[in-house]
Amino acid sequence: MAHLSLEEEKRHLTLTVDFLKAYNAQLTLQRDNVKKGIRSSREEINEEIATIDADFESGNIYEFIQMLPELRTSEVNFNFIDSMYKRTKRMIPKPYFGKIIVDDEEIYIGTGTIKNNDNDILIYDWRTPVASLFYENNTGELSYTIPDGSRIGAFVSGRRQFIVEDGNLLKMFDSDVYIGDEVLQNMITDSSQSKLKNIVSTIQQEQNEVIRQPLRQDTLVYGPPGSGKTSLALQRIAFLLYQHKETLKPENILLVSPNEVFNDYLSDVLPELGENHVKNITFYRLIGQFPYFKARRFETIYENIRRLREDTASHDIYKFKSSLDYFRTLHNFIESLATAGMEFRDLKDRDGIFISKEKLNDIFYKELGHHTPNKRLFKIRERLLSLYSVRIEEIKEAKFKELNSQNKYIGEQHQLKERAHSFAKDQLKQAHRQIMLFRFVHIEKLYINSITDRQFRNATIRSIKENDFKYEDIAPMLYIYIHLLGVYDRSVQHVLIDEVQDYSNMQYYVMRHYYRKASFTSLGDPNQQIHHVDKDPLVAKNHVQKNLVRSYRSTNQINAFLNSIVPDSIQSVSVDGEEVQKITSDDQTEKIRKILRTEEPPQVAIITSSKASADALYGRLEEEFPQFRNLQEEDTLYNQSFLILPYYLSKGFEYNTVILADAQDYEAEDHIMYVLASRATRHLYIIEQLSEY
Whole-number pLDDT of residue 633: 82
Whole-number pLDDT of residue 509: 96
Whole-number pLDDT of residue 439: 95
Domain ranges of the chain: 1-92, 93-212, 214-328+494-548, 347-441, 556-689
Whole-number pLDDT of residue 465: 96
Whole-number pLDDT of residue 275: 43
Cα–Cα distance list, 370 to 340, 360, 363, 367, 386 (Å): 13, 16, 11, 8, 21
Q: Is residue 226 marked as binding?
A: yes
Nearest to 157 by CA among 102, 110, 196, 117: 102
**Hey, which residues does 581 pair with through a beta bridge?**
685
How many CB atoms lie under 10 A from the CB of residue 69? 9
Assess whether the region 214-328+494-548 and the region 556-689 belong to the same CATH fold.
yes
Burial degree of 263 (CB within 10 A; 0-12, 13-18, 19+): buried
**Hey, which residues does 110 pair with through a beta bridge?**
125
Taking phi first (over 0 means left), then psi (-120 to 50 degrees means alpha), and beta for anything else, what does residue 50 get?
alpha
- CATH class, domain 556-689, is alpha beta
Nearest to 341 by CA among 468, 452, 431: 452
pLDDT in tens, 264-319: 665 555 444 554 577 889 999 999 999 999 999 999 999 999 999 889 999 999 99
Cα–Cα distance list, 339 to 333, 362, 370, 373 (Å): 11, 12, 10, 9
Alpha carbon distance 359, 99 (integer Å):
71
Alpha carbon distance 339, 460 (integer Å):
25
Residue 114 CB contacts under 8 Å (≥ 6 apart), including other chains: 19, 20, 23, 87, 88, 91, 95, 121, 122, 123
How many CB atoms lie under 10 A from the CB of residue 216? 9
Whole-number pLDDT of residue 37: 84
Cα–Cα distance list, 497 to 220, 281, 301, 671 (Å): 9, 10, 16, 21
Alpha carbon distance 74, 58 (integer Å):
27
Nearest to 27 by CA among 80, 95, 96: 80
CA dihedral 214, 215, 220, 222 (to 10 degrees): 70
Nearest to 522 by CA among 220, 169, 130: 220
CA dihedral 262, 264, 266, 267 (to 10 degrees): 160
Q: What is the mean pLDDT of each run of 10 residues along the chain (693 residues)?
A: 84 96 95 87 70 54 65 82 90 92 93 90 87 83 84 92 92 80 67 53 74 89 89 82 82 86 58 61 93 94 91 94 96 97 91 90 96 96 95 91 84 88 91 94 98 96 96 97 95 94 95 96 92 87 89 91 95 89 93 88 90 95 92 73 90 88 90 94 92 55
Q: Is residue 230 marked as binding?
A: yes
pLDDT in tens, 318-358: 999 999 999 999 999 999 999 999 999 999 887 788 899 99
Whole-number pLDDT of residue 343: 97
Q: Rounded to two decimals, what is the model's pTM? A: 0.81
Q: Is residue 227 marked as binding?
A: yes
Fold of the domain built from segment(s) 214-328+494-548:
Rossmann fold (3.40.50)
Whole-number pLDDT of residue 107: 95
Taking phi first (over 0 means left), then psi (-120 to 50 degrees means alpha), and beta for anything else, what does residue 377 get?
alpha
Terminal C-alpha separation, the chain: 69
